[in-house]
Amino acid sequence: MNKEEIIFGGGCFWCTGAVFKMLKGVISVLPGYAGGQKENPTYKEVSEGNTGHAEVIKIKFDSSKISFRDLLTVFFATHDPTTINRQGSDVGTQYRSIILYTNDIQKKEAEEFMEEIDSSATSGSKVVTEVKPLIKFYEAEDYHKDYYAKNSVMPYCQVIINPKLEKVQREFRKLISQ
């Protein structure tokens, strides 16, 4: 087993967490906060947009079962990396698109992947995803863990998360855990 970690932020961590939990080779997905200045931030503080942190997920994965490139593909396909500090109706720096890498290979692959997206785009905005080294990850409060699995009948899950999960099932069938 080749275990690695990567931190992705692409809007609400309830959404990104549910998406990546579906994938084969993903060992665990943990919601949290990263990329800001405040020590031990709370959900309320991050939600107010004053900590500099983004809502993120820490993904532990087995790179012998799923490549980092496949994770990047799903990441960029399941959020809008061209909007600054916004994903749908979620607005603020806490919802920005961010990759916090844990090694230099991840940094290089992420930057090259973003260049590919930008050079292949026929029109529209460029990718604004931040790519930075992980300094510190703060685990989110317990009620955020497995949020979708525990709350899938809630309106937010039905309206916002379900379409993303359906897209992954449709477009990335070969990457889904059986």
Give the model's pLDDT for residue 125. 82
- What pTM was computed for the model? 0.94
Bridge partners for 71 per DSSP:
none
Question: For residue 55, is pLDDT > 80?
Answer: yes
Confidence class for position 146, pLDDT limits 50, 70, 90: very high
Banded model confidence at residue 19, pLDDT cuts 50, 70, 90: very high
The identity of residue 149, as a single letter, is A
15 is catalytic: no
Biggest CA-to-CA distance, the chain: 43
User: Amino acid letter at 158?
Assistant: Q
Give the tens place of pLDDT for each residue, 98-138: 999 999 999 999 999 999 999 887 777 899 999 999 999 99
Q: Counting beta carbons within 10 angstroms of the beta carbon of residue 34, is it exposed (0 to 12), middle (13 to 18) or buried (19 or more)?
A: buried
Residue pLDDT, tens place only, 34-53: 999 999 999 999 999 989 99
The tally of CA atoms less than 13 A away on the side-chain side of residue 94 is 21
The pLDDT value given to residue 121: 74
Domains and their CATH numbers in the chain: 3-175 (3.30.1060.10)
Q: Could you report how far apart the first and last alpha carbons of the chain are, in Å?
A: 19
pLDDT of residue 113: 96
Q: What is the pLDDT of residue 161?
A: 93
Rounded to whole angstroms, what are the CA distances from 76 to 38, 99, 114? 27, 11, 9
Q: Which of 6, 7, 12, 57 is catalytic?
A: 12
Per-residue burial over 50-88, b if 16 or more Cβ lie within 10 Å, else e, is ebebbbbbbbebebebbebebbbebbbebbebbbeebbe
What CA dihedral angle connects 103, 111, 52 and 43, to 10 degrees?
-70
Crossing angle of helices 68-77 and 13-21, in 10° steps, is: 130
